[in-house]
Amino acid sequence: MDLDYSLLLLLINARTPWLDDVMILASAVGAAGFIWWVTALITMVFPHKRAAAWRMILAVAFTFAVNEYALKPLFDRPRPFITDSTITVIDAKPVTQSLPSGHAAMAVAGAIAGSRLLSGSAWVWWPLALLVGISRVYVGVHWPTDVVAGAVVGLATGWFIVGDVAKTSQNRSVARKNTSNSPSI
């Protein structure tokens, strides 16, 4: 817990007005999986990407449900500003428990879904997921280990929903090839 508290204070002490704005924006973009919902809805416009969009929605929604309804009540960890009243929060104060971070969980699940399902987009999703996670500690509403735990939850739930898409796509194309090469009766 000392390392957790030290890392929290390190980020809080790094606050500057311009960085405050960046972190508050990153936190807002990650709120309730906002950026991944918007991306999925825009992606649905393209018929060949609709399945990917639905899997992204499912990954983020499933992650939210597991995190908020199963894990947070189970761990029931207080937020940093409740544990230490000297911590100044520079964003809205959440009323839910602290562990695991829902922002981090949905960010990582969204990054997995986006990277796996929308080719060439990983360079956007993973840095954004990292920024969203760090922002939650920076604004004073999560312990660093909450963010790490949220990332683990996002990895697990995102992978559970998305799976090995590349392997699945490869198997489908092999199956189509084998079907088209078989003789007709």
In this predicted structure, the answer to whether residue 167 has a pLDDT above a threshold of 60 is no
Q: How confident is the model at residue 89 (pLDDT cuts 50, 70, 90)?
A: very high
Looking at residue 31, its pLDDT comes to 93
Domain for residue 174, yes or no? no
Using one digit for the tens of pLDDT, what is the confidence trace for 129-162? 999 999 999 999 999 999 999 999 999 999 999 9
- If 0-12 CB within 10 Å is exposed, 13-18 middle and 19+ buried, where does residue 121 land? middle
Domain for residue 184, yes or no? no
We report the CATH number of the domain holding residue 91 as 1.10.606.20
Distance of CA 45 to the CA centre of its chain: 23
In this predicted structure, the answer to whether residue 12 has a pLDDT above a threshold of 70 is yes
